[in-house]
Structure 1
Amino acid sequence: MVSNTRGQFSSKFGFIMAAAGSAVGLGNVWGFPTKTASNGGGAFLVIYLVMVFLLAFPMLVAELTLGRYGQANPVSTLRSVWTKNKAVAGVMGLIAMVTSSFILSFYAIVAGWLVAYAFIPVFDVAGFHAVSEWLVNFSSERNVVLAVIFSLMNILVVQKGISNGIERWSTRLMPLLFILFAVMIIYIFTQPGAIEGLKMYLVPDFSQIHGGLMVDAMGQAFFSLSLGCSTMMVYGSYLQKDVNIPKTAAQVASIDTGVAFAAGLLILPAMFVAKNHGVDIFTDDGVLKSSGDLVFKVLPAMFDSMGGVGAVLSFGFFVLMVIAALTSSISLLEVPVSCAQDELKMNRTPATWVIGGVIMLISIVICLNFGTLFGLVADVTTVYMQPLLGAVWAVVVGWIWHRNKLLQELKHGYPDIESGLFWKIWPWYVRFICPVAIVMVFLYPMF
């Protein structure tokens, strides 16, 4: 049973905003648009939307259902379901906790860069050009300072708990995120070159579809909903029993996909606006020049060319990115904090500061050994561990968890589920289709 110290989401809206915030991160706001631009534009968009429906949504239902049934951290939840092999279940829960912690360790570094770029135009306007120059130039010192700043922001939100911290800030930040998106999309659409980017995004060229694109789109759909690293399992553990999980999962997936789609409406036209301003984006044969660092090169160059309006837009865009990063990172920190509360009986505040502090130290070590560790940690956690853990969750729900107990848990918020089409398809789909699809995502990078 859930302990009194764990808390719960106070409203369905609060949970939806928090879960959508966890899902809506840098992968949506930047990863999705750049993958779209690199994989045929509209063709990638179509396949991505199909994969969200075919893979991400069924697994989101699975993770949320596991979490609410266990009413605890991933270690205890998996033990409560995997009763015949509790040792293995506990180990898988610990691996998920470590994975989310290491994802957060490199995520905080990238988010710190976003904080820097949000304030660069502010310092420039105020005349502190030396500070702006320091923030722009890559260095270990800069990376450490920015990672610490972002980590402290994250800790301060999570220590407040579920309703007073995560839920309160998610319900504030997510609507702000939507408003900033709308304002910036409207402005970008008025700029020369934007329509060219819009056509690339919305008009699919199906000759661009190939096996690599299919798997890439499937991976993006999987990662965009924070699946595999147990954040949704933990958020599910704070759900009240009267919540209709399939309906709520559909709402979260819809918001997440909507934000990714909106990010494409912003970034792809912005890329062509930048091109119109003389910024090199594509090679002579039409290949995107860069992806991961494009946000720190192309868009600032575009904003610089737009004068005073560009400074305002630059501030708004990077604040938007920081919000997306923060709403995701609080869910990553919540995973080990929930484990410390339940397994070690720690109070939330010391648990948050101790664990957040340890992860912050890991971020500092990565900053000081950036060339060796940053790419390694990012690849091991996101390319390998997330799909592997996702496949394990699919096996647990589809093969290990007693089907009647699964049904009874879903019935709490959806009494008529047994007579509907969802129950006739979903258990078999999670049992057979999801593990195979996730393993494909896991194996593809190796070849």
Structure 2
Amino acid sequence: MTHQVPLRAIAVAAAFLGGLAAAQAQETIFYSTQLRPIEEATKVREVLLEGLSGNVTYVVDEPPAFAVRMKAETQAGKRTASVVGALHGELQPHVPDDIQPIDDVVAKVAGRGIPASLMDLGKLGTGKQQYIPWMQATYVMVANKQALQYLPQGADVSTLTYEQLQQWAKNIADKTGQRRLGFPAGPTGLMPRFFQGYLYPSFTGGVVTTFKSPEAEAAWNAMKELWAVSNPNSTNYNFMQEPLLAGEVWIAWDHIARVKEALTLQPDQYVAFPAPAGPKGRGYMPVIAGLAIPKDSPNREGAVAVIDHMTKPETQILTATEVGFFPVVKAELPADLAPGIKQLAAAVDATQNAKDALVSLLPVGLGAKGGEFNKVYSDTFQRIVLRNEPVRTVLQEQAKTLETLMKETGAPCWAPDKPSQGACPVN
């Protein structure tokens, strides 16, 4: 049953795209898992693609549908999309069958200052360039300045620990009678990324191998304490900018694109800063999106033009200001940049350059099963934190589900877990 929705979505999209492709052979279809919400997709179509010659149609899809469709079109020998945009881990499973090496495109972007480390990621473990880095993001904390007076003594927002965050939220609850810490734990919120990129790495130094470790038990107990001082409406929050602007929440964690509006609309009201540190470091998840060209691209020339355009410094700056994803190229953010965007840029910089920063990559190699991976962490959260089931029992049971999933996909470990031969083990 789990595949019915994505497959149906693919059938509809394929029919739609098939019709388009037939109508205009020289059209460039830009197929993306990123910038999917209506407001963001509209910005891509009306602002970010502006000035690009030729007819480009921007089509978005959920990651599971993207994975299935890329494979299905390879098998059918009928490709509709000329260029694709997706996260690093979403592109990985499509090497070498579904995307083509694009070493010739590297020369086009050579002078743009894309860091060598990011270009290297774009090789996806091969000797050839598989994607060109497109944009980057991460997750940050944002606080209403009203909350700062309740910071624990000696605490600094730029170097918070999980213990201090809990104490801070408790101080607010004790003094105001309101629980003002908030998390995006709603149906389409990004809460699984908090566990995978922040809580687990910070407490255990891993994500998969350490899933049921004693350190993981400590992490979940810390999460229970955080939840006890969090706004109970957090299970309904998908984008934290809304409860921040409404004043329901004074301290929030979320993806920069999902808090951007609060900082843009009321920059003087908020501060942005890195997520907290735990015993193993300050876990954080950089989000790298790339642009790739599928095999049998119907319009390769158009695809190269899209990549060239989207990585120009001026387009990259527009991407930051319009949708809150930051440049991968060397691009001086303009002096008149909105103050809220400047704050976010500073918080991203502080996160990446923190002394105790611990990088946790997005899951790699799970293909269409990325949703099942997220569900392991969501289910663990629901059972331990929301239903108060015993931590160790839940971890032992969920570890079996995780182990089965890793074996089925054969996905090797990714950072911060140490590299593995074959499927990443759950120790």
Q: TM-score w.r.t. structure 1 length?
A: 0.25
Higher strand share: 2
- Ranked by relative contact order (alpha carbons within 8 Å, sequence separation 6 or more), the top structure is 1
Higher helix share: 1
